[in-house]
Amino acid sequence: MGCRQSFRQCCDRPKNTNVRISLPAVCFVWQIVVIILFGIFIRYDQESDAHWAEYRKFQNISSDIENDFYFRYPSFQDVHVMIFVGFGFLMTFLKRYSFSAVGFNFLIAAFGLQWALLMQGWFQSLDPMDGKIKISMESLINADFCVASCLIAYGAVLGKLSPVQLMVMTLFGITLYAVDEYIILNLIHARDAGGSMVIHTFGAYYGLSISWMLYRPNLDQSKRLNGSVYHSDVFAMIGTLFLWMFWPSFNSAITDHGDGQHRAAINTYLLDMVIGHMVHIQNSTLAGGVAVGTAAEFMLMPYGSLIIGFCCGIISTLGYIYITPFMEKYLKIQDTCGIHNLHAMPGVIGGIVGAVTAAAASEGVYGKAGLINTFDFTGKWKDMVPSRQGGHQAAGLCVALCFGVGGGIIVGCILRMPIWGDAPDDNCFDDELYWELPEDEESIPPILEDNNHMRNRDV
Amino acid sequence: MGCRQSFRQCCDRPKNTNVRISLPAVCFVWQIVVIILFGIFIRYDQESDAHWAEYRKFQNISSDIENDFYFRYPSFQDVHVMIFVGFGFLMTFLKRYSFSAVGFNFLIAAFGLQWALLMQGWFQSLDPMDGKIKISMESLINADFCVASCLIAYGAVLGKLSPVQLMVMTLFGITLYAVDEYIILNLIHARDAGGSMVIHTFGAYYGLSISWMLYRPNLDQSKRLNGSVYHSDVFAMIGTLFLWMFWPSFNSAITDHGDGQHRAAINTYLLDMVIGHMVHIQNSTLAGGVAVGTAAEFMLMPYGSLIIGFCCGIISTLGYIYITPFMEKYLKIQDTCGIHNLHAMPGVIGGIVGAVTAAAASEGVYGKAGLINTFDFTGKWKDMVPSRQGGHQAAGLCVALCFGVGGGIIVGCILRMPIWGDAPDDNCFDDELYWELPEDEESIPPILEDNNHMRNRDV
Amino acid sequence: MGCRQSFRQCCDRPKNTNVRISLPAVCFVWQIVVIILFGIFIRYDQESDAHWAEYRKFQNISSDIENDFYFRYPSFQDVHVMIFVGFGFLMTFLKRYSFSAVGFNFLIAAFGLQWALLMQGWFQSLDPMDGKIKISMESLINADFCVASCLIAYGAVLGKLSPVQLMVMTLFGITLYAVDEYIILNLIHARDAGGSMVIHTFGAYYGLSISWMLYRPNLDQSKRLNGSVYHSDVFAMIGTLFLWMFWPSFNSAITDHGDGQHRAAINTYLLDMVIGHMVHIQNSTLAGGVAVGTAAEFMLMPYGSLIIGFCCGIISTLGYIYITPFMEKYLKIQDTCGIHNLHAMPGVIGGIVGAVTAAAASEGVYGKAGLINTFDFTGKWKDMVPSRQGGHQAAGLCVALCFGVGGGIIVGCILRMPIWGDAPDDNCFDDELYWELPEDEESIPPILEDNNHMRNRDV
């Protein structure tokens, strides 16, 4: 504790909030690096390459409609809307931070997606023949997922970090995510179609740990801006609705063709309905889709989805009332958007539900082929049984938690350094630091003034 | 009339607007009931069940892409956007009722969808073998349609009912819809792909009848809030646009695979264009998609769509100018959103157009197979001829009208009881009754104040 | 110059801004004409006609899923969202012109789409057998594209033209577009999947030339309204995001089935990410999708997309800082939305990139079949080689430029006539001229007043 204290003091020098040079410089250098790496590593896969016609003939594929594009594209676009409109507008609720909410969300996503394509490519789809990463629609969806975890983390630190800090947070977050995902999905062989563990649990604890490391004891000096106004809340509803509506696409985007996608969409839809029922718009509504993430493609049964939604809605709502204030007061974790209620708890619940559902899977319910398809009991894992799969799912959840908390603490330390241009405690949640704002709403009256002027002229 | 008068007096006791306990209690109990019913009745159908791989082999289906999911999912998501963003934001035009517009829209939809899955399942897709309802993507779309009728009804009573009343209205509305739909589509064998009769005519007259039963003679005491401001109108445009743009998806979502979906989308699109041409944004723009609902999948011909759009635009616009004020003044029907112009009249027109188009169908235009596919002249109805089909369509329209008006009057009576927590006449259209509102727009200036404070400190 | 001057004087008589009669009259007459033309010319094509079942059997098509509807519909809906929500809300940034931005965007689109279906039909899909135009999903997408060019032109004249002028601009714009497109795609045989040349270059220079012809020397008298407020900027972000997100759909909507659509979507997506990285939200973010329009379906390679995005972002940003003010001051071109940076320059770059990429295409990269498919080296063009194709692409770009500038100047002359009801220089950018506006934001306080009233009553 003493050590942390002295580190804190070393970091708490006066801050320089000017990012006018550092931000473009970082972006510029970064973009050059990415372009070079893309030039070396990234190529189209056979479904998007111009050789598709030959490949199709060779593979005896009967029609162009079986190109993966037509299986994935509608879900992909929905996920894309969630990332940019959903997450972006969800965070516009602060009265004077809407530009930054949407703008930095955009920055994180655009920056993160490129890095994610590379990191996930190296870990998951490097072609051993030519050392290239072959990208397709599925890679883009996976990159969107990866970025979602960083946007969740952004929710915890909204209004408190500078854009340069956000880029550092994203850079490490994506890297950790790719490793974490590789361990959970490939080494441990846990299934996580909608990312309860990989995306939500990891992302939320990553953000909360960073927020903990960057605790601002005098944040109430910015209290005047840490709240909403009527119209900013309506903007936030746009984000909430788009996130919420497209949750079925999110959870079904990368599941197996056919029944897997169908079932994942139905499960998420049903659960969403219960959650929606709980009215706490902008808050607990989003918890449901998270909690069914892992189990979305399993045979959860329609009533199972409803029960999970019901429990999550209650837990998430209680979280807002009791846990968030408790965390802020006693654990020194300032969670601007309440991601602990929206993503962390539902994510953990989702992981547990996934483990239980997997352990309880039986051939009677799934059919022999269905069991193998759903849990991918093939190749190296062909002797796996559902009960052991349950254990692997639980192990996956633990890994996600460790990566989130551990990674967050380390990155938080880095971000405490006084070189990143973050706002002082009495100036958080304010667009003015980073954007040229238009004149205020109140200055519209000139119209009236001008009408007088015209009337005078008429006289 | 005297009887109605005395019933009114009995109901017009002072109102208690507190729903803080009754609303969560109703939701909680209701949700438990639904979960139990889902546990007993609802299962995946063969296209979303893990046995799909076996089913596919058994049915000799060549590819996963022929899973109904890929036929329906894009339309489904569009319909979903219409329900939540379209209807929700359409009603945000009131200056201080945006939270309730979006929030209660959400409540009705989430609540109604669950009940609709059960009700429609019992009537239409109960598996006689095991007594279970098998749900699929098509069930979800049908449930969305069902809920749309209640959201239309919500438009007539916007700002005047409490959330508990809205839930009662929805509960009965969904039930009536399911019966109504069963009679029209199954017993009478009318075709109604886009729901001109089943959804719009029924929904609109249901809402108008309720509004008539709940007539508030002193509503002008809330006049200060029954209007828009600049930005609330822009929010409403978001709703209008999303409803309007996705109308082709709405009308093609459950039509036949192949040419049916294709034609329904084109017809609606063309018609939309004419309507859009009429500029009365937020108003008549939406009438077109309604009017082509029934006939969308018929061979209406492109110019036919244009003519219908043209007529509807004119009628709907005239409706806003003449009929709505007339209805309010003389018929004692207060129609907040003008659903009579948007849904009731165009719905009736759509039903008539459907009847005429069906009666005029010929083998020359449709081809033999096309005629059978389009009108489903199979099984019990294999001897049906187009001219008789026209009669059945007309009968369907009458049934929809009767259910709407009759159901609305009965439910209106129930809702007059003074136990539901609705607002007094001088406090309608106000979010404050039901939501914790943020401080006002005007209170942003503190920023300036604080800048002064900082400047002082610098001194 | 002297001639232009005297023409100007002849036109600069006092203006009559009343369009209450002329606008509906023009719309009405126009709509009647279109309905008659539709009746004469437009029919369903075989994929949307009820004879599809027979056609399918005849053509030996194995499944309904191979109806073009399922290839195109998701992209079509995304393009539709771009046209109405994207373009519409992008232009809501002006503080008192949001109604007109969305409303006139709607008017142009709805009006233009009908005319585009006819014009493009006559030029491209007239059936020689029966003299009818056969429309399908692809026709609707093409019409959306056609209209996009007029909406781009609208960006340059936003706030300065009356709705009647906009309709004239659209009427000629669509006509020019159809001719231009026919020459470039059919006669010259250039490829332009995402329309860098046909849509963006043509549209932008068309709008800029009109704006030049209609130069208003005293426009700074409307300066008070030519700017944004906080919330109007947030609305504009909605437009930006929807345009930006769906760019991959725009560029892939009409490319070849299979790998072409897949590759176009990936290329645009990658490029978007770099651009997004540049943070200048609302501005340069949109330049990327434009610049990759022509080459989207080519084998541009992922890093190629990134490089184009990078350059375009820089050029577009510099354009806002240096070129727009220069154009206004010295070239007398007033470009309200900065379309020169968003569409004109990126469009030209896109055309050049397309020419270079086409010229550099080789059988090694594309494969023999791929080359033929991608560049459509069939029929009359079967002896074409990539290097000559590059020349044809360049020729296409020149044609687009000529049509844009030439057409714009002529139409600009027509629009200078003082009969169209445009606003005087001191009253531009104002909704009040054309819409009945609700009372002002400031007038909400009545709530407080009323609270007092209630408190008094309690006393």
**Per-residue model confidence as pLDDT tens digits over A279-305:** 454 556 677 777 777 777 777 777 888
pTM: 0.85
d(CA A291, CA A312): 7
Q: What is the 3-state secondary structure (H, E, C) of chain C?
A: CHHHHHHHHHHCCCCCCCCCCHHHHHHHHHHHHHHHHHHHHEEECCCCCCCHHHHHHHHCCCCHHHCHHHHHHHHHHHHHHHHHHHHHHHHHHCCCCHHHHHHHHHHHHHHHHHHHHHHHHHHHCECCCCCCEEECHHHHHHHHHHHHHHHHHHHHHCCCCCHHHHHHHHHHHHHHHHHHHHHHHHHCCCCCCCCHHHHHHHHHHHHHHHHHHCCCCCHHHHHHHCCCCHHHHHHHHHHHHHHHHCHHHHHHCCCCCCHHHHHHHHHHHHHHHHHHCCCCCCCHHHHHHHHCCHHHHCCCCHHHHHHHHHHHHHHHHHHHHHHHHHHHHHCCCCCCCCHHHHHHHHHHHHHHHHHHHHHCCCHHHHCHHHHHHHHCCCHHHCCCCHHHHHHHHHHHHHHHHHHHHHHHHHHHHHHHCCCCCCCCHHHCCCHHHCCCCCCCHHHCCHHHHHHHHHHHHHC
Residue A322 has pLDDT above 90, yes or no: no
A258 dihedral zone (left: phi>0; alpha: psi -120 to 50; beta): left
Residues forming beta bridges with residue B197, ordered by sequence position: none
Q: From the CA atom positions of chain A, what is the Rg in Å? A: 24
Q: Report the Cα–Cα distance between both ends of chain B, in Å, rounded.
A: 77
- SS3 call for B1: coil
Which pLDDT score, from 0 to 100, does residue C454 have? 37
Structure tokens at C214: 């209609």
3-state secondary structure of B133: strand
How far apart are alpha carbons A279 and A229 in whole angstroms? 19
Query: Distance of alpha carbon A310 from its chain centroid, rounded?
Result: 23
A7 vs A342 pLDDT, higher one = A342
CB of B102 within 8 Å of any CB in chain C? no
pLDDT-derived band at A99, boundaries 50, 70, 90: confident
Per-residue confidence (pLDDT) for residue A30, from 0 to 100: 83
Question: Of the spans A119-133, A165-179, B312-326, which averages the highest pLDDT?
Answer: A165-179
CA distance A32 to chain B (A): 37
Beta bridge partners of C43: C134
Instruction: Give me the average pLDDT of each 10-residue run along chain B (459 residues).
Output: 55 62 80 86 79 76 75 84 89 86 87 89 86 86 91 91 89 94 91 88 94 87 81 85 83 72 72 56 65 76 81 82 86 87 89 89 80 81 85 93 94 85 80 75 44 36
Place of tokens 């345009």: C243
Residue carrying structure tokens 């398809």: A373
**Chain length of chain B:** 459
Three-state DSSP at A123 gives helix
Tokens of A127: 């072609």
State which residues of chain C have pLDDT below 50.
1, 278-279, 281, 442-459
**Interface contact C49-B276, CB threshold 8 A:** no
Closest CA relative to residue B348, chosen from B385, B373, B323, B382: B323
Chain B residues with CB under 8 Å of A426 CB are 450, 454
Minimal CA separation from B405 to chain A, in Å? 28
For residue A268, what is the nearest residue in chain B, using CA coordinates? B140
The whole-angstrom separation of Cα C177 and Cα C180 is: 5
**If pLDDT is split at 50, 70 and 90, which confidence band does A412 have?**
very high
Question: What span, in angstroms and rounded, lies between the C-alpha atoms of B286 and A5?
Answer: 63
Looking at residue B138, its pLDDT comes to 85
ipTM over 0.85: no
What type of residue is B449? E
Single-letter code of the amino acid located at C205: Y
What's the rounded Cα separation, in Å, for the pair C241 and C235? Answer: 10
Under 8 Å between Cβ of B252 and B210:
no
As separate numbers, helices (DSSP H) first and strands (DSSP E) second, chain B gives 21, 2
> Whole-angstrom Cα distance, residue A324 to residue C27?
57
Q: Which of residues 47-76 of A touch C (CB under 8 A)?
A: 47-54, 56, 62-65, 67-70, 73-74
CA distance A18 to C341: 27
Do the Cβ atoms of B38 and A371 come within 8 Å?
no
Q: Do B114 and A310 touch (CB under 8 A)?
A: no
Contact B110 A262 (CB under 8 A): no
Q: Could you give the angle at the alpha carbon of C368 between the alpha carbons of C367 and C372, nearest 5°?
A: 110
A215-240: burial string, b at 16+ Cβ within 10 Å, e else: bbeebebbebbbbbbbbbbbbbbbbb
To probe the interface with C, which of B76, B250, B274, B373 has the most C CB atoms within 10 Å?
A: B274
Taking a C-beta distance cutoff of 8 angstroms, is the pair A47, A67 a contact?
Answer: yes
Q: Which residues of chain B lie closer than 8 angstroms to C99, CB-CB?
A: 233-234, 237, 281
Judge: C277–A135 Cβ closer than 8 Å, yes or no: no
Burial of B60 (0-12, 13-18, 19+ CB in 10 A): exposed
| Residue B208, both tokens | 């108008």
Distance in angstroms (rounded) separating the CA atoms of residues A303 and B135: 12
Task: Show which subunits contact A, needing at least 3 CB pairs below 8 angstroms.
Answer: B, C
* CB proximity under 8 Å: A 348-387 to B: 365-367, 369-371, 373-374
Place of tokens 């165009």: B346
Does A137 contact chain C (CB < 8 Å)?
A: yes
Contact, B304 vs B258, CB < 8 A? Answer: no
- Judge: A444–C95 Cβ closer than 8 Å, yes or no: yes
> B259 to chain A nearest CA, in Å?
17
C450 contacts on B by Cβ (under 8 Å): 224
C-beta separation of B441 from B230 below 8 A? no
Q: Which residues of C touch A89 (CB under 8 A)?
A: 238
Give pLDDT, residue B149: 93
CB-CB under 8 Å, A34 with C306:
yes
Residues 6+ apart with CB under 8 A from C318: none
Are B232 and B100 contacting, i.e. CB atoms less than 8 angstroms apart?
no
How confident is the model over A250-290, as pLDDT tens digits? 887 777 666 777 777 777 776 666 655 544 545 566 777 77
Comparing alpha-carbon positions, the chain B residue that sits nearest to A310 is: B31
Which B residues, 272 through 311, put their C-beta within 8 Å of a C-beta on chain A?
Answer: none
Residue whose pair of structure tokens reads 């950790």 in the numeric block: A176
Out of A50, A99, A135, whose CB is closest to C299?
Answer: A50
| Closest CA–CA distance from residue B258 to any residue of chain C (Å) | 5
A241 near B CB under 8 A: yes
**pLDDT recorded at residue C410:** 94
- Neighboring chain A residues of C78 at a CB cutoff of 8 Å: 77
Collapsed DSSP state (helix, strand, coil) of residue A81: helix
Q: Quote the DSSP letter at residue A322.
A: I
pLDDT at C451: 40
Q: How far is A345 from chain B (nearest CA, A)?
A: 21
pLDDT for the residue B284: 61
For the CA atoms of C149, C155, C160, C163, what is the dihedral angle to 10 degrees?
Answer: 50
